[in-house]
């Protein structure tokens, strides 16, 4: 069978299974495995022989599985996930929001601004957008509703703020992108800092403009806070700043590799929790269980994606696509915009990790053929996935916020609230596309 035809059948079945809501790990893994068996068992000029295809396919699957799970960069994933859970159980993230709430309460929309900044801090610790949205949604949205914030602003700000976990290091999506594209995790982490801060500043400006136009949606708080409370609020920020400094400062200065930074920051988080007497043994055990569950799910998806990538490589789909592009010779801008639109559309329906592992075997070789810096392209892709988290009809962060907030917060109000921040996201995306230096300046100046 023609390898290109076989690959098209496999990709079609993957999409059908995904449309039927079969988990992406099973969709990719099963289709790739069957594709490998057929590839080895159906040679040109002969009939399909399952027996002859089964042995080499299983050997390849075994080799891939062993080599992949022994990949050193993969160890970052459980370490950063564990860091997020320990920080949550040690009240580091809760204290971050409480401190910001006190310090920013007098500003128009101050609680929403505190929530977005809290999301940025939480993201810098955990690297997970969904975990950030879930944790901050439980803490911040009820607090804002209590002070008569409009449900649209309360829920939309946290849903949008949660997406910062995609860009601000340590981002799990950057780790997965680095593994599948063989790029430097250090450079990807550093490349995400400026775009992440740009997005954060943009969100703050969005809230300020919103509350200037509609002050009743984010009223100033009139209750007075004593000097002692303000001092305690400032002191309450230090654990989050310390962890951020360990991760980003350690990597930027070259003291730590990303894996070492993950391990050290996890140890520091545990010590902070013990020193402040806020981390119990039961909490550590629960954090460990949650870490194992999430890590196993991510590893299963990544392993299935590795098999899928191997099959795509053997079937020579990528050279065929590149030859086709060479024959029609489209301008680079057209190709780039087509890929951007593709990610925006697919981001409305699939989760971020699934999109990465499904699409990178196709899009990265195309960008490489055009001489694109894959660090910059990684930032663009992750930004597009970030936008997908708050874009209808799926918008994973939207549903997470709805699931952890009071019944008065409707799904429609969350989507409407996030829409204002979505406009800002597109502005930042346009800046990143137009000025690659915004992403590349920091990694190029490090070390």
Residues 346-361: tens digit of each pLDDT: 887 777 888 888 889 8
pLDDT score, position 350: 77
Angle of helix 411-434 relative to helix 374-388, nearest 10 degrees? 160
pLDDT above 60 for 371? yes
Q: What's the pLDDT score for residue 165?
A: 79
- 16 pLDDT band, cuts 50/70/90, is very high
Q: What pLDDT shows up at residue 63?
A: 83
Give pLDDT tens digits for 163-212.
887 888 878 889 889 988 889 888 998 899 899 999 999 999 999 999 99
Question: Distance of CA 243 to CAs 75, 264, 267, 399, 437, Å?
Answer: 19, 9, 10, 29, 27
Model pLDDT, residue 177: 92
- Which of the two residues, 315 and 16, has the higher pLDDT score? 16
Residue found under tokens 């310390």: 242
Residue 223 confidence (pLDDT) = 66
Of 88, 96, 83, the C-alpha closest to 235 is: 96
Residue 47: how many CA atoms within 13 Å on its side-chain side?
2
pLDDT at 53 over 60: yes
| 252-285 pLDDT per residue, tens | 788 888 888 889 999 999 999 998 888 888 889 9
The pLDDT of residue 204 is: 93
Segment 118-130 shows an average pLDDT of 73
- Domain residues of the chain, as ranges? 1-70, 73-298+374-445
- Say what the pLDDT of residue 354 is: 82
Instruction: Tell me whether residue 223 is exposed, middle or buried, using C-beta atoms within 10 angstroms of its C-beta: 0 to 12, 13 to 18, 19 or more.
Output: exposed
Given a cut of 80, whether residue 51 has pLDDT beyond it is no
pLDDT for 267 equals: 93
Compute the average pLDDT of residues 129-148: 83
**Rounded-to-integer distance, Cα 389 and Cα 123, Å:** 14
Is a pLDDT exceeding 70 seen at residue 447? no
Section 282-310 average pLDDT: 87
């Amino acid at each position: 069978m023609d390898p290109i035809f076989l690959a098209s059948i496999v990709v079609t079945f993957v999409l059908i299974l995904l449309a039927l809501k079969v988990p992406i790990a099973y969709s990719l893994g099963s289709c790739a495995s069957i594709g490998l068996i057929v590839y080895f068992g159906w040679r040109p000029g002969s009939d399909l022989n399952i027996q002859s295809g089964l042995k080499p396919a299983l050997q390849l699957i075994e080799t891939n599985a062993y080599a992949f799970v022994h990949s050193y960069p993969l160890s970052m994933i459980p370490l950063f996930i564990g860091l997020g859970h320990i920080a949550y159980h040690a009240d580091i993230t809760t204290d971050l929001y409480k401190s910001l709430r006190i310090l920013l309460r007098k500003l128009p929309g101050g609680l929403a601004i505190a929530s977005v900044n809290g999301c940025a801090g939480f993201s810098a610790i955990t690297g997970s957008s969904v975990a950030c949205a879930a944790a901050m949604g439980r803490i911040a949205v009820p607090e804002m509703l209590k002070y008569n914030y409009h449900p649209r602003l309360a829920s939309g700000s946290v849903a949008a703020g949660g997406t910062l976990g995609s860009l601000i290091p340590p981002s799990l999506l950057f780790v997965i992108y680095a593994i599948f594209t063989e790029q430097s995790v250090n450079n990807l982490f550093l490349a995400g800092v400026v775009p992440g801060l740009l997005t954060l500043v943009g969100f703050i400006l969005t809230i300020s403009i919103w509350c200037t136009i509609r002050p009743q949606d984010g009223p100033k708080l009139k209750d007075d806070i004593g000097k002692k409370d303000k001092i305690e609020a400032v002191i309450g920020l230090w654990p989050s700043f310390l962890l951020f400094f360990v991760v980003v400062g350690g990597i930027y200065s070259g003291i730590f590799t990303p894996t070492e930074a993950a391990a050290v920051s996890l140890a520091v988080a545990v010590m902070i929790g013990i020193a402040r007497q806020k981390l119990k043994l039961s909490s550590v055990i629960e954090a460990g269980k949650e870490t194992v569950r999430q890590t196993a799910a991510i590893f299963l998806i990544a392993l299935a994606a590795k098999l899928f990538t191997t099959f795509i490589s053997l079937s020579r789909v990528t050279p065929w696509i590149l030859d086709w592009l060479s024959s029609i010779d489209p301008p680079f801008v057209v190709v780039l915009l087509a890929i951007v639109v593709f990610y925006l559309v697919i981001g409305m329906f699939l989760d971020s990790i699934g999109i990465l592992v499904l699409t990178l075997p196709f899009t990265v070789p195309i960008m490489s053929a055009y001489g694109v810096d894959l660090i910059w392209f990684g930032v663009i892709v992750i930004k597009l996935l970030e936008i997908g988290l708050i874009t209808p009809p799926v918008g994973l962060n939207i549903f997470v916020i709805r699931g952890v907030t009071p019944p008065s917060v409707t799904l429609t109000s969350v989507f409407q609230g996030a829409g204002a921040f979505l406009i800002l996201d597109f502005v930042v995306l346009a800046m990143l596309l137009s000025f690659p230096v915004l992403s590349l300046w920091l990694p190029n100046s490090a070390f």
